Amino acid sequence: MDSLQNAFKGTEAQERELKEVIAKHKDTPGCLMPVLQEAQGIYGYLPIEVQTMIADGLGISLSEVYGVATFYSQFSLTPKGKHRISVCLGTACYVKGADKVLAEVENRLGIKSGECTPDGLFSLDSCRCVGACGLAPVMMIGEDVYGKMTPDQVDKILDKYMQEEGGAES
Amino acid sequence: METVKLTINGIPVEAPKGSTILEAARAANIEIPSLCYLKDVNCIGACRVCVVELKGRNGLVAACVYPVEEGMEVLTNTPKVRASRKTTIELILSNHNKKCLSCVRSNNCELQKLALAYGVDEDRFKGEKELTPLDTSSAYIIRDNNKCVLCRRCIAACKNQNISVIGSIRRGFATHIGCAFENGLGESPCVGCGQCIVACPCGALTEKSQTAEVWNAISNPDKKVVFFTAPSIRATLGEAFDMPIGTNAEGKMVAAIRRLGADSVFNMDFTADLTIMEEATELVERIKGAGPLPMFTSCCPGWVKYVEHYYPEMIPHLSTCKSPQQMFGAVLKSYYCQKNNIDPKDLFVVSVIPCTAKKFEVGREEQRTGDYDDVDIALTTRELARMIKEAAIQFTDLPDEKFDDPFETATGGGLIFGATGGVMEAALRTAAAMLDSTCELVDFKEVRGTAGIKEATYTIAGTEVRVAVASGLGNASELIEKVKSGEKDYHMIEVMACPGGCINGGGQPIQSDSVRNTVDLKAVRAKALYDADAKMTLRRSQESPVIKMVYDEYFEAPGKPLAHKYLHTTYVERGRF
């Protein structure tokens, strides 16, 4: 399922850092949560390679690690893009049509909520209230806030980030 | 022991401090229905079926996890309790795939039993049902999550085995049971013991049924179909026909298989004897210096796969003997075919075994002696029972019949292979006589019983022989760690993957929690084997005339080249993840 672009690209330095984290927590009961949190801090997400290293290091089964990693929404199994898009699906945004905004972003990028584009440029998530209900529906890209969103604005906003990228590369 | 006094439904009850309401009630013969609870396996208070009322308290509590207190007044049968249980069962059924008529667990399903008892409306709540595909990736177990009630008994059983390849994934409505990264069981380091199946209260876990292939072979005029049955089957098959647990139904079992259309029905105790001849010889050689020691038994395919996945460094310690099932396959497709002028391709070999891991074992390439599998199909006790029912054979009315020549006779040593400690005792009986021809010892009672780990030391012909026996892979790994650290030092260790051994295997008839609560299946079923052993005149494997025959006519002697070619095997290193 992973495209080549999303293949695991962990470095030796990251692996060393993870091993230190495991060694630090190993003998503490209930250490899986802090290890997963710090591992996500190191890698940005928790792919099978990272979870296997954790299971091996802590002497527990991969299915136990995976169970915890999929239980808490703070953990991500997919890499995050350079630009992280969050569409708020809190009550106010939802009644103002945020689901249609989310659907349009999914459609435009060809990914589902929770996934990352193959080029690693965008990742898409939905979130609950961002505290800007007056601007509902709200979409965030990185630190940028877009309020009173409608599906037809999605193209133009995404184009801006894509062009920035194109400009930087050329 | 400190106890507390309480009342349950007004009946005074005294229970050990720290025990749960459920334990106290069941000890006093007051039944509280439960679903996720399974004695000795799972106790997590998840399903809320066992709720009870406590006088003076508002909410209901889960009896399986709530500890007893002095002066507590428990009510297990009030309108509030009954209504709560009914709603809980209706909610569990709301997204359950209710294809009960054709479910293999129909009539033996704890959920169905509860639904009937509480008069539920199975369609009261129309839950969202998303049909998930079955996991058929392994050779032995099928998982159907559409019938899963999320009780987590399978997870607990797998964890008890120190394997934990299955777990709970995601949360809320998305919660489901499976392997890491949604991989199939067949791609995981599962050893196939099947303890998850016998822990499952309903039809979410079943063995991969192969009865259709056996029926096809039986109706094919070009195939000669031979069955052989493992030692423990006689002690458990009767349960599938409502006979009391622990009934030795050997004669009816043979009669039933014959009536299914088998050309011959053989006794696998014979190759248990053969295993002992080879294994005792190997042990004596190892002790004389060929090493390495301790030698682990290799007759349990779940245990063998466990070593290959989790302790590959111990592979040289595994006996090279094939399991009795695989030895029988090899004997049939070599010696038996040659003697009877049968082309091995026309011989269809069916083993009946208490085990799901044996379904994996039959397909292992290292086990082959020709370009075909030596055993064609391995059927669990449950599958055999289903075939007997399908053929409308009235099992309990059958006459007792005998196994077929030439593999009819076996010794008590082979018979007790089905219980934890049995392989060790059989090996000791034979090894003792090999080392000291005057030795008359046949009862090695120290290695009997249902304890997870047993140890004994015997002095045979002036030599001290230290042995250990483990059943349940959690116990086995505890023992391995002690051997690796040097804390313990043995000559021989017997391991059976399932707690109590094959009589409690993953392919045996499934008994519900309410039965397992009062009957120790491991002890009662094993008793049927030991009782039969005690009555036998031939109790040591080397005394069997069939053993003498196959060595004289074919294999020459234990450990000789031909015996090695057909009766021994090799192992492969597999990953932990």
Contacts of B164 in chain A (CB under 8 A): 60-61, 63-64
Q: Which of B34, B264, B319, B471 is catalytic?
A: B319
Contacts of B163 in chain A (CB under 8 A): 61
Chain B residues whose C-beta sits inside 8 Å of any chain A C-beta: 163-171, 179-181, 188, 576-577
Q: Pick B150 or A129 by higher pLDDT.
A: B150
Q: Say how far apart CA A120 and CA B556 lie, in whole Å.
A: 68
pLDDT at B131: 87
**Which domains occur in chain B, in start order?**
3-77 (3.10.20.740), 125-207 (3.30.70.20), 212-567 (3.40.50.1780)
Sign of the Cα torsion A59, B143, B157, B522 reads negative
Q: Is the pLDDT of residue A168 over 70?
A: no
Number of Cβ atoms within 10 Å of the Cβ of B91:
16
Nearest chain A residue to B159 by CA distance is A61
Out of B169, B171, B577, the one facing A55 most closely (by C-beta) is: B577
Number of Cβ atoms within 10 Å of the Cβ of A126:
19
Amino acid code (one letter) for B60: L
Distances (CA, A) of B145 to B125, B184, B199, B509: 19, 12, 15, 21
pLDDT at A1: 44
A2 Cβ under 8 Å from any chain B Cβ: no
- Interface probe for B, chosen from A58, A62, A73 (most Cβ of B below 10 Å), is A62
Contacts of A67 in chain B (CB under 8 A): 167-169
The answer to whether B180 contacts A71, with C-beta atoms less than 8 Å apart, is no
Contacts of B165 in chain A (CB under 8 A): 61, 63
Helix/strand number for chain A, H first, E second: 7, 4
The answer to whether B167 contacts A52, with C-beta atoms less than 8 Å apart, is no
A51 Cβ under 8 Å from any chain B Cβ: yes
Burial class (CB in 10 A: 0-12, 13-18, 19+), B514: middle
* ipTM of this predicted structure: 0.91
The answer to whether A63 contacts B179, with C-beta atoms less than 8 Å apart, is yes
A76 Cβ under 8 Å from any chain B Cβ: no
* Closest Cα in chain A, distance from residue B180 (Å): 4
* Closest Cα in chain B, distance from residue A56 (Å): 9
Q: Say how far apart CA B127 and CA B149 lie, in whole Å.
A: 13
Q: Say how far apart CA B480 and CA B100 lie, in whole Å.
A: 43
A121 Cβ under 8 Å from any chain B Cβ: no
Q: Say how far apart CA A58 and CA A40 lie, in whole Å.
A: 16
The answer to whether B169 contacts A48, with C-beta atoms less than 8 Å apart, is no
Out of B165, B170, B179, the one facing A71 most closely (by C-beta) is: B170
Taking alpha carbons only, the member of B444, B506, B510 closest to residue B472 is B506
Q: Is the pLDDT of residue A147 over 80?
A: yes
The answer to whether B180 contacts A60, with C-beta atoms less than 8 Å apart, is no
Amino acid code (one letter) for A97: G
B498 belongs to the catalytic site: no
Number of Cβ atoms within 10 Å of the Cβ of B354:
29
The terminus-to-terminus CA distance of chain B in angstroms comes to: 44
Q: Is the pLDDT of residue A170 over 60?
A: no
Q: Which of B148, B196, B299, B355 is catalytic?
A: B299
Q: Say how far apart CA A125 and CA A129 lie, in whole Å.
A: 13
The answer to whether A78 and A45 have CB atoms below 8 angstroms apart is yes
The answer to whether A63 contacts B170, with C-beta atoms less than 8 Å apart, is no
Q: Is the pLDDT of residue A169 over 60?
A: no
Q: Which of B278, B282, B308, B494 is catalytic?
A: B282
Q: Which two tokens stand for residue B396?
A: 């309990």
B361 belongs to the catalytic site: yes
The answer to whether B180 contacts A56, with C-beta atoms less than 8 Å apart, is no
* Closest Cα in chain A, distance from residue B463 (Å): 39
Contacts of A55 in chain B (CB under 8 A): 577
pLDDT at A2: 44
Q: Which two tokens stand for residue B52?
A: 């009870």
Out of A48, A63, A70, the one facing B164 most closely (by C-beta) is: A63
Residue A73 pLDDT grade (very low, low, confident, very high; cuts 50, 70, 90): confident
pLDDT at A167: 59
Taking alpha carbons only, the member of B272, B270, B263, B265 closest to residue B250 is B265
Contacts of B185 in chain A (CB under 8 A): none
- Interface probe for A, chosen from B155, B161, B163, B169 (most Cβ of A below 10 Å), is B169
Q: Which of B53, B110, B279, B308 is catalytic?
A: B279
The answer to whether B72 and B54 have CB atoms below 8 angstroms apart is yes
Q: Which two tokens stand for residue B261?
A: 């259309």
A61 Cβ under 8 Å from any chain B Cβ: yes
Q: Say how far apart CA B108 and CA B205 lie, in whole Å.
A: 13
Q: Which of B90, B110, B278, B361 is catalytic?
A: B361
The answer to whether B577 contacts A66, with C-beta atoms less than 8 Å apart, is no
A33 Cβ under 8 Å from any chain B Cβ: no
A52 Cβ under 8 Å from any chain B Cβ: yes
Segment A102-110 mean pLDDT? 96
Contacts of A56 in chain B (CB under 8 A): 576-577
A1 Cβ under 8 Å from any chain B Cβ: no
Predicted TM-score of the model (pTM):
0.92
Backbone angles phi, psi at A158, to 5 degrees: -65, -40
| Alpha-helical runs (H) found in B79-171 | 79-94, 110-117, 153-160
B285 belongs to the catalytic site: no
User: Which H or E run contains A93?
Assistant: helix A91-95
DSSP B122: T
Place of tokens 């190892």: B286
pLDDT mean values, one per 10 residues, chain B (577 residues): 96 97 95 96 96 95 97 97 98 95 96 97 89 96 97 98 97 94 97 98 98 98 98 98 98 98 98 97 89 95 98 97 98 96 97 98 93 96 98 98 96 97 96 86 95 95 93 97 96 97 98 92 98 97 96 96 96 94
Contacts of B179 in chain A (CB under 8 A): 63
Backbone angles phi, psi at A126, to 5 degrees: -100, 155
